[in-house]
Amino acid sequence: MNTAKKVLFTSHTANFQKFNRPFMRMLKEQGWEVHYASAGEEEILDTDQAFVVPFERSPFKLGNVKAYFALKKIIDRGKYDMIHTHTPMGSVVTRLAARASRKKGTRVLYTAHGFHFFKGAPLLNWLTYYPIEKYMARHTDTLITINNEDFERAKAKFKTRVEYVPGVGIDPKKFDIKMSKADKSKLRKSLGLSDTDFVLLYPAELNKNKDQSMLIDVMERATAKYKDIHLLLPGVDSLDGYHRRIINKKGLAEKVHLLGYREDIPQLLKITNLSVSTSRREGLPVNIMEAKYIGVPIIVTDCRGNRDLVEYDECEAVVAPGDVSAFQEQITLSYEKFITNKGAALAARSNKYLLDRVKLRMNEVYADA
């Protein structure tokens, strides 16, 4: 008879597994049987069993009713000891489907990777998402938040146990790559860069929230002053070529490089002089954590998630969202420091968000859930 404890992870998209897999492996090593339910658009790894559930991203899609019944059947049959759910709609459907199982002892954990309501968010976000999350908290045993603003609000307003975990963790093995001067030069050349160019990097999905259009406006000003500044924008385009049209209209095609989806972000960071983020909101941004880990200076907008990572030292700057002039001024300061220091690299500075530390924290949360 199988006496192993069973856990079900859920997220509306299978792609989200990349954040869960370290914790799935950790539980498997402890003897848990691990299952995963998602929309199934890609293969789920590091799991004993995967289920396809027709989750819809929008809360207004009737497809989520089908997802509810499909997932309820999986949960009722699975008799899970613990369910750990992620993503807004995936978590709503999961927690509703798990109500009967909770009464029988199943523990339900939800990680909020950045609430849609936050200081400065549109009123519609507050009217739509805040009541939903407040109601769903009663169907949650442990609510995990990854930034201070969400933690303090949830702790004060939601009737459930609230824990803080500093993000999904950085895997230092990703950066155990040796790149010689020739390797870096070759990568730069493949991107249309010279060895002496000053390179900015913002790896993120191209969308309204990440606000790459602000950064393009910044680059229009910066490149008028310094001809050797370049911006790399790796990420999937979710706006049907909108940014490319802006770049072409401003004559910046040789300065702002849309790279599409890339799997070599660690290598790109190693040829980067400055890591930037113009996001309007974040949970706890991995791209900035990774930049801090290997010692790349950062300039970010002052939004939830970004501000959690800023230590206000000489290598970091915070700018109000949408303030193109201030952002360009900070880039100028960073550029001039780079020229003065003749490109000397900074020492790696931040170990706070390493995966091993986050796993230890998650292990505590799982044990106490």
Regarding whether 208 and 162 lie in a shared domain, the answer is no
Regarding whether 305 and 182 lie in a shared domain, the answer is yes
Average pLDDT of the chain to the nearest whole number? 93
pLDDT band at 44 (very low <50, low <70, confident <90, very high): very high
Which DSSP string corresponds to 195-210?
TT-EEEE--S-BSTTT
pLDDT of residue 299: 96
Regarding whether 358 and 274 lie in a shared domain, the answer is no
pLDDT of residue 60: 72
Answer positive or negative: Cα dihedral of 332, 335, 341, 345: positive
Regarding whether 157 and 21 lie in a shared domain, the answer is yes
Q: Is residue 254 part of a domain?
A: yes
Contacts of 100 (CB under 8 A, 6+ apart): 72, 76
Regarding whether 49 and 164 lie in a shared domain, the answer is yes
The sheet with strand 229-234 has its strands ordered as: 256-260, 229-234, 198-201, 274-277, 298-301, 316-319
Residue 151 clears pLDDT 90, i.e. is over it: yes
Residue 344 clears pLDDT 50, i.e. is over it: no
Regarding whether 100 and 230 lie in a shared domain, the answer is no
β-bridge pairing 49-52 and 298-301: unpaired
Q: Is residue 349 part of a domain?
A: no
Region 220-229: mean pLDDT is 95
The residue among 205, 229, 245 whose CA lies nearest residue 327 is 229
Regarding whether 112 and 40 lie in a shared domain, the answer is yes
Query: In the chain, how many domains are there?
Result: 2
Regarding whether 301 and 242 lie in a shared domain, the answer is yes
Cβ 141 vs Cβ 109: under 8 Å: yes
Helix (H) or strand (E) holding 111: strand 107-112
* pTM, full prediction: 0.89
Q: Which domain holds residue 185?
A: 172-340
